[in-house]
Amino acid sequence: MSTAAFSPIFGFVPTSPLYFVLYMLLIWVPYIILIIYGQKLQSYSIMADVARYLNRLKYDAEQSRENLMSYLQRKGVGGDGQKSIESMIEDVTITPVDMDPVGIVKKMELILRTQEESVKSRIKSIMKDANEVERAAVANMLEIASALTLVYKVIRHYYLLGRKFPDNIYLLAQLQMILPGLVKQADAYLGAMGALEKSLPLGDGIGPMIVGKFMRGSEKIELDDETVYAEYLYKGRTVAFLKAKGPMASVGHVDSGLKRLLDGPYADVKAIIMIDAALKMEGEQSGEVAVGIGAAIGGIGVEKFNIEEEASRRRIPLYAVIVKESIFEAISVMTRAIAESAENARKSVLDLIERSVPEGEKCIVIGVGNTMGVAQ
């Protein structure tokens, strides 16, 4: 009777006091160890997981650098030139102070423009014989290599901090949470380098591709060295189609291009329509076209700010036509579903022009995105 109380546990019935003590130790010692050291053990397992992802980020960063160097090699850039461009991967850009955010966009714009111009002129001085497409490819590859290197370094920083303080499981757990998505994005950026080498259009290029089709056959007027527009007549409306100048990799300067048109021949437009690729939500179909209101443009926000300011100051309504795609599709070679959505988006644009611009009036349509592999 005295042993019957234990029999439900694994059917084990201790037959002597020694067995009973051993049995209790077997159950309780691991339990107490887990209570005391459980978090530490968990943090080691998280650390191992984070280390695997970190290795992948390191691979992406190194591979991007190698891709850039081998592209330069193939384009006949010598050792000194290669070294000089490689050193630019580690160049830092310092963002303006945001304690007093009034006017921060203009400061940001200055910093970004300066960075862009200096990279462009340095590449130009190194690659004297290369054409515009090749130089733009190098600038974009450099940007990817810099971004991947920075991401790797930041994650490595937090990983090493986490290893220093293994009791702080939350530091590592946060890394573990964001890393799978981050690594997938890093992989996609690395993949985009292949597209750059061949100058293939990206998913992000759908905006310029839709606008470019309207511009085909019309006279193109350059607003600056990276931005062009063409005039197009549609059912009595005069439409200026504006995009980055292709087919080299560039997003152009659509904000300053728009300002120039508004200050010049298009002062009295009735609408500004922006076409852009936008992030879809999971479950939405890639290539779905949606129409809306507002400035459709991504990035840090400088262009968006400038466009919204110009439009609101002159009280011009902003309309948007967006093509939905995932972040991975946006930075990979354009898929068939997205390419074929151009026709639908084109119809939406024409529809929008008819609805929002009276006959005899003018409007501006902007194709937002990287125009690599897409001319006009």
Q: How far is the CB of 346 from other proteins (least distance, A)?
A: 11
Q: In the complex with other proteins, which residue's Cβ is closer, 199 or 356? A: 199
Q: How far is the CB of 140 from other proteins (least distance, A)?
A: 15
Greatest CA separation for the chain = 104
d(CA 91, CA 166): 32
Residue pair 43/176 in contact (Cβ under 8 Å)? The answer is: no
CA 323 to chain centre: 16
Contact residues toward other proteins (CB under 8 A) are 52-53, 56, 183, 187, 198-201, 209, 212-213, 216-217, 246-247, 332-336, 338-340, 342, 373-376
d(CA 91, CA 119): 10
Q: In the complex with other proteins, which residue's Cβ is closer, 206 or 364? A: 206
Torsion of CA 34, 39, 41, 43, to 10 degrees: 170
Q: How far is the CB of 126 from other proteins (least distance, A)?
A: 23
Q: In the complex with other proteins, which residue's Cβ is closer, 217 or 358? A: 217
Q: In the complex with other proteins, which residue's Cβ is closer, 139 or 209? A: 209
Q: In the complex with other proteins, which residue's Cβ is closer, 330 or 333? A: 333
Phi, psi dihedrals of residue 301, rounded to the nearest 5°: 120, -5
DSSP assignment letter at 15:
-
Q: How far is the CB of 209 from other proteins (least distance, A)?
A: 6
Two tokens, residue 107: 């400061």
What is the three-class DSSP state of 175?
A: helix
Q: How far is the CB of 217 from other proteins (least distance, A)?
A: 8
d(CA 307, CA 252): 14
Q: How far is the CB of 283 from other proteins (least distance, A)?
A: 21
What CA–CA distances, in Å, run from 58 to 53, 89, 177, 187, 314? 9, 15, 18, 11, 49
Residue pair 105/305 in contact (Cβ under 8 Å)? The answer is: yes
Q: In the complex with other proteins, which residue's Cβ is closer, 220 or 259? A: 220
